[in-house]
Structure 1
Amino acid sequence: MDGNTTGQILLLIFLLSCSAFFSASETALMSISKIRLRHMAENNIKGARTVEKLVNNSNQLLSGILIGNNIVNIGASALATKLAMDFFGAAGVGIATAIMTVLVLVFGEITPKSLAANNSENISFKVSGLITFVIKLLGPVIFIFNKLTNLIIRLIIGRQDNEKPLITEEELKTMVDVSHEEGIIELNEKEMIENVFEFNSLKTKDIMTKRQDIVAININTTYEEIKNVFAKEQYSRIPVYKDDIDNIIGMLYVKDLFHYEGETPFKIEDYMREVFYTYENNSITKLFSSMQKNKITMAVVLNEYAGTEGILTTEDLVEEIIGDIVDELDEHTYYIEQISDKKYLVNGELRIEKLNKYLGTNLQSKYVTTIGGYITEKFGRFPEKGELIEVDNMKFTVKESGRNKIESLFIEIQ
């Protein structure tokens, strides 16, 4: 074997190595996480911005890699054919084709791409500098090929929208599920994130306290009567109405009553605050923003005829994300206690939507928000202790009942 042949074999090995380099670069750079890359770039990790710049211009990156890879593969095939013909004559063409097919597949494609798929981040950082150089070197060629490719694509499928989001909502939800499955985030964190996604689609009517459950006071109510209402209900503020509940004219805060010294006749108008109104079909995202901006903690929800449909507090809004908030003034805990495999004990004031979420049921009502109210609605009257009713595949048994409401009940899923 003369020196010329040795040089050609070394050149062939070099070209195959270049093929492996381009294949590994393609897989690594096209599969690296853009979100993690953005995080590293913002934290000034060395080389991250170079990789991010390459990845953000994916058309140029892919064209540069493919052009480079094809150049070295064609060069390697031509050189291998020449070497084979020098040794085997005309039969060398077939031999070279067979050998190069195996070599390119094993060493130029499968092996480097498999390695890159499992080490995309590490390899991307190592190859980014050289790939950047190749793209600059092949700049004019890449430009021509990209223009030609874009023209063909437009002729076949029309103009494309290149402005795609970094990640879609569905992909983000999947990431949350996978993160929980792998132990990265806790169940309560997963639920809060899922609640954030649902938050944007909810309307005011979905989470408000409905009209029939509102505790309100008449403008003519006496000071002593008001104190008794606050003491009984344990609320920090209560709506004030004139004539009927459809005409709520103010909000009375319990702390404002401390300013009354009893020296003059009590007038509720002197202590109540302005009402914040919203409508039942308003987005709670926009409502939350408005309530924060105006430092409002309670809103009156109106229907299309400007009648009172319900009330809603900032606590209701926050609970949609983090779950129920129970403070030292709460008289009841709106619990769900599992008694057996398919039997539960629940508080009558538990919201229907919370029960649905916990049990995976689909109970719905246009008129009430609590499970106690829902069962009362189904009976058509206030049920007594021990009475039961079946709804769909569920059996409800009243455990305790007070005056005009169900305190607690058993739920059995059949």
Structure 2
Amino acid sequence: MSDLPVPLLFGMLAALIVLSGFFSSSETGMMSINRYRLKHSANQGDKAAKRVIHLLQRPDRLLGGILFGNNLVNNLAAVITTIICLRLYGDGSTTLGAIVLTLVMLIFAEVTPKTIAALYPERVAYPFSWLLQPVLKVMQPIVSVVNYLSNTLARLFGVNPNEAPQHEHLAPDELRTVVDEAGDLIPDQHQGMLLNVLDLEKTTVEDIMVPRVEVNGLDLSDTIENLMKVIRSTDYTRLPVYEGDINNVIGTLHLRHVSRFLIGDDARVTHASIRRFVRKPDFVHESTPLSNQLLNFQKAKSRMGIVVDEYGEVQGIVTLDDILEEIVGDFTTNTAEDEHEDITTLADDCYLIDGGTAIRDINKHLDWSLPQDGPKTLNGLATQFLQAIPDGCVSFHMDDYRFEVTSLTGRMIEKAKVTKLGKAEKH
């Protein structure tokens, strides 16, 4: 090689620099490519994408071949540079030649091609995969030896390359980040819906159920006159039906089945005629995740479930509408709920709240962060903090909030004024 003409040596050096840039950009492009976009392109029939997926199936072989080729051309470039320096300037020029070659390689074979590949991985990986396939096949014997030795060394450090984690699969929190960072690709309203779907797994039926003290139902031990008053005045389309006590639930009644009762003489209506249209109840455990309950409603073709605890005691009811509203937000108008507003604004960051209001609803409505890992209602949270039902209207602080009980009964706190404290008020 030392006998070759200097112009030819410069040409070979330039070619080696180009090859080094090819290997460097190939490595960055292949490793930086979006795997989900790649799979989508492959599913659409893109042959280049399928070729890249095939190469990425064994990243140790891919990296082994790229790095071997890159180091080979870099070393050959160093040898040719040394020969050129000796031929043109003598022994004292080799150090300067090494410095110049380092700068040239950094600019033209490392930083620039890797930056381009990192910014546009598909534009680099797709066309370069044409060349990488035959190159890797040619270098396969050497690459196999290199991979065997490197994998053996990796096992000494407790790493098994054949059992590498599958980075293609995202954890729920990582998927939330993907949705959050989608930007203009997903409208804000749709982003919220997707995030709510992910939260269904964390939310249980107990968190959204209508508690038993607020359940509006039909007690078949009552008179027909009272039952008809409930049927005519209710704002709901489905009512739980029980006998004597709500724990003795016998089913649910859809009001479309009793439309014939609404007109005419109530004396013609009997308990038996009402019972005839009662559907068998669907019992739901209070700890059931909403994602599971949504599927249960779908399988059972049902829209209402009776929520029970571990002892079989009825705790409340949950409906399909309640779960759907957790995903899309409030999409129905409930007259009964509108008439009994649970949260009333008194001033900035100060609200009068019913004791039976769910902590989760308060946090969601006011963007607060009251603790949700214990009691589910404001009354439960306050009595847990006080360790007793207060004897009178008391005031206390809990974290960043001030509670002032305004009305209570012997059994629970009915209303409390809750204020979120500012930094000045905390101190």
TM-score by length of 2: 0.81
1:141 matches 2:142: yes
Aligned residue type for 1:57: R
- Which deviates more, 17-26 or 253-262? 253-262
* Partner amino acid, structure 1, of 2:315: E
| Superposition CA RMSD, Å | 3.4
Q: Residue 300 of structure 1 aligns to a residue in which SS? A: strand
Q: Is residue 279–residue 302 contact of structure 1 (8 Å, CA) maintained in 2? A: yes
Distance (Å, rounded) in 2 between the aligned partners of 1:323 and 1:171: 23
Cα shift at 1:5: 1.7
Please report how far the alpha carbon of residue 395 of structure 1 lies from its aligned counterpart in structure 2 after TM superposition: 5.0
Partner AA of 2:160 in structure 1: R
The structural deviation recorded for 1:154 is 1.0
Inter-partner Cα distance in structure 1 for 2:404 and 2:330:
23
- Choose which of 291, 297, 306 in structure 2 pairs with 1:300: 306
Instruction: State the Cα distance separating 1:126 from its structure 2 match.
Output: 2.5
- The answer (yes or no) to whether the contact 1:238–1:251 under 8 Å persists in 2 is yes
Q: Give the equivalent residue in structure 1 for 2:166.
A: 164
Counterpart contact for 1:395–1:413, Cα < 8 Å: no
**Hey, what does 1:95 align to over in structure 2?**
96
Inter-partner Cα distance in structure 2 for 1:259 and 1:75: 95
SS of the residue aligned with 2:250?
A: strand
Q: Structure 2: where are the runs of 5+ without partners?
A: 422-427
Cα 1:185/1:349, change in 2 over 3 Å: farther
Quote the offset at 1:14 in angstroms.
0.1
Give 1:320's aligned residue: 326
Aligned ranges for residues 167-182 of structure 1 at < 5 Å? 167-169=169-171, 170-179=173-182, 182=183
| Aligned residue in 1 for 2:270 | 265
Q: In the alignment, is residue 360 of structure 1 matched against residue 368 of structure 2? A: yes
Return the letter of the residue paired with 1:74: N
| 1:53-99: CA deviation from partner (whole Å, max 9, x where unpaired) | 22343222211211111111111111111222222333343233222
Judge conservation of contact 1:356–1:363 (CA < 8 Å) in 2. Answer: no
Measure, in 1, the Cα distance between the counterparts of 2:27 and 2:165: 22
Amino acid across the alignment from 1:269: R
Shift of 1:285: 2.1
Mean alpha-carbon deviation: is it higher for 217-226 or for 293-302?
A: 217-226
Return the alpha-carbon distance in structure 2 between the equivalents of residues 184 and 396 of structure 1: 46
CA distance in 2, matches of 1:306, 1:266: 26
Aligned residue number for residue 14 of structure 1: 15
- Render the CA deviation track for 1:272-299: whole Å, top value 9, x for unaligned: 1101112222333222212210111111
What TM-score do you get using the length of structure 1 for normalisation? Answer: 0.84
1:145 counterpart letter in structure 2:
V
Query: Is the CA contact 1:230–1:236 (under 8 Å) kept in the aligned structure 2?
Result: no
Q: Deviations over 1:312-345 (max 9, x none)?
A: 1111222222222323765617687877643457
- C-alpha change, 1:119 and 1:335, in structure 2 (3 Å) is farther
- 193-202 or 52-61, which deviates more: 52-61
Report the alpha carbon displacement of residue 413 of structure 1 after superposing the two structures with TM. 2.3
Between 1:287-296 and 1:351-360, the stretch displaced more is 351-360
| Structure 2 counterpart of 1:362, one-letter code | L
Identity %: 28
Judged with a 3 Å threshold, the aligned counterparts in structure 2 of structure 1 residues 44 and 174 are, in CA distance, closer, same or farther, namely: same
Question: Do the aligned partners of residues 159 and 368 (structure 1) sit closer, same or farther apart at CA in structure 2, a change above 3 Å counting?
Answer: closer
5+ residue gaps in structure 1? none
Deviation at 1:376, TM superposition (A): 10
Q: Could you say if the C-alpha distance between residues 307 and 121 of structure 1 is closer, same or farther in structure 2, counting changes exceeding 3 Å?
A: same
Alignment of 1:85-234 (within 5 A): 85-159=86-160, 161-169=163-171, 170-179=173-182, 182-234=183-235
1:96-153 alpha-carbon deviations (Å, 9 max, x no partner): 3222222222221112112222222222222121122212222222222222211111
Q: Distance in 2 between matches of 1:86 and 1:128?
A: 38
- 1:233-290 Cα offsets, whole Å, 9 max, x none, are 3111111122322221211111111255875634232121101112222333222212
Which residue does the alignment assign to 1:277?
283
Q: Which residue of 2 aligns with 1:394?
A: 402
Distance 1:212 1:336 in 2: 18
Distance 1:191 1:168 in 2: 19
